[in-house]
Amino acid sequence: MTTKLHINVHQGIVEAEGDEQLVREIYLDFKSEILALFQKAASVAPTKPTEVGGGQEAQNLGSKSQKKSKPKSSTGKPKSPQKSSGASSYTPKLEHDTDTSGCLQFYNKYKPKSHSEHVLVFAKYLQSIGLDTVTANQIYTCYVACKAPMPKAFLQAIRDAHSKKNGFVRYTSPDDISITHIGEGKLNSMEQL
């Protein structure tokens, strides 16, 4: 007579089929493994029964249920990685010698929607008054003159206009910004007739 045993501890299935003595030995081995696992898990941290599996999964339970924590600061909050991009430390300044008398009229001609489009329109305005390359401070001065919504991270808005996604301007530094052919094409599509 053959004896069958089927144990499913949350899909950690153990199946045994054979004579009664063999099946009993497998059951006793499995039982001791599960009990040892539950005792170990209970001493480390409380776990949910659904986390328990059989075989290799059951042996790895302790490592799966523990999360790696970030280093904490003196305030008890997790530290975030330090970035040294310089964008957050850049503070734009008004350039009072930049002529912004026609800036608002030029701005209204294009109706930019995103900060990348604002940067493009202001760079084009600055080029139209005779500047080949423009600076971040001059673009900031245009933002202020037109009372356009100011980006929270000003220099990042210029970098976004330079990014692969947009490519409207060539940005090498806050003092060297120029319009690309992609930017010229975008301006042509934005122009209000």
Which pTM was predicted?
0.55
Tokens of 165: 């996604």
pLDDT digits (tens, 9 = 90+) for 11-70: 566 677 778 877 777 777 777 666 766 666 666 655 444 444 444 444 444 444 444 445
Domain identity same for 60 and 125: no
Q: Are 108 and 43 members of one domain?
A: no
Cα distances (Å, whole numbers) of residue 14 to 30, 49, 67: 8, 17, 29
Give the number of domains in the chain: 2
82 belongs to a structural domain = no
Tally of CA atoms within 13 A in the half-sphere of 58 that contains its CB? 23
- Given a cut of 50, whether residue 126 has pLDDT beyond it is yes
Look at residues 35, 64, 93 and tell me which one is the last residue of a structural domain.
64
Is residue 181 a part of any domain in this protein?
yes
107, 155: one domain: yes
Helix/strand/coil for 48: coil
CATH number of 110's domain: 1.10.10
Pull the structure tokens for residue 20.
């009664």
Same domain for 182 and 107, yes or no, is: yes
- Nearest alpha-carbon partner for 176 in 145, 140, 132: 132
CA distance 65 to 180: 52
Residue found under tokens 């339970």: 61
More confident residue, 48 or 93: 93
For 16, the 3-state DSSP assignment is strand
Specify the pLDDT at position 158. Answer: 93
Q: Classify 10 in phi/psi space as left (phi over 0), alpha (psi -120 to 50) or beta.
A: left
- Are residues 186 and 109 located together in one domain of the fold? yes
On whether residue 98 sits in a domain, the answer given is no
Query: 85 in a domain, yes or no?
Result: no
Give yes or no for a contact between 107 and 121, defined as CB atoms under 8 angstroms apart: yes
69 in a domain, yes or no? no
Range scoring the smallest mean pLDDT among 9-23, 108-122, 171-185: 9-23
Q: Does 76 map to a domain? A: no
Q: If you search the block for the tokens 């980006």, which residue do you land on?
A: 151
Look up residue 125 and give its two tokens.
């305005």
Residue range of the domain that includes 16: 3-64
- Contact criterion met (CB below 8 Å) for 46 and 61: no
Average pLDDT over residues 89-100: 88
Q: Looking at residue 75, what is its pLDDT?
A: 53
Same domain, 124 and 186: yes
Q: Are residues 108 and 166 in the same domain?
A: yes
Q: Does residue 109 sit in the same domain as residue 182?
A: yes
Question: Residue 10: what pLDDT?
Answer: 57
With CA atoms as reference, report the closest residue to 121 among 191, 174, 16. 191
Q: What's the full length of the chain, in residues?
A: 193
> Within the chain, what is the greatest distance between any pair of CA atoms?
101
Greater pLDDT, 35 or 188: 188
What's residue 37's pLDDT? 64
Separation of alpha carbons 51 and 65, rounded Å = 8
Identify whether 42 is part of a domain: yes
Tell me if 165 is assigned to some domain.
Answer: yes
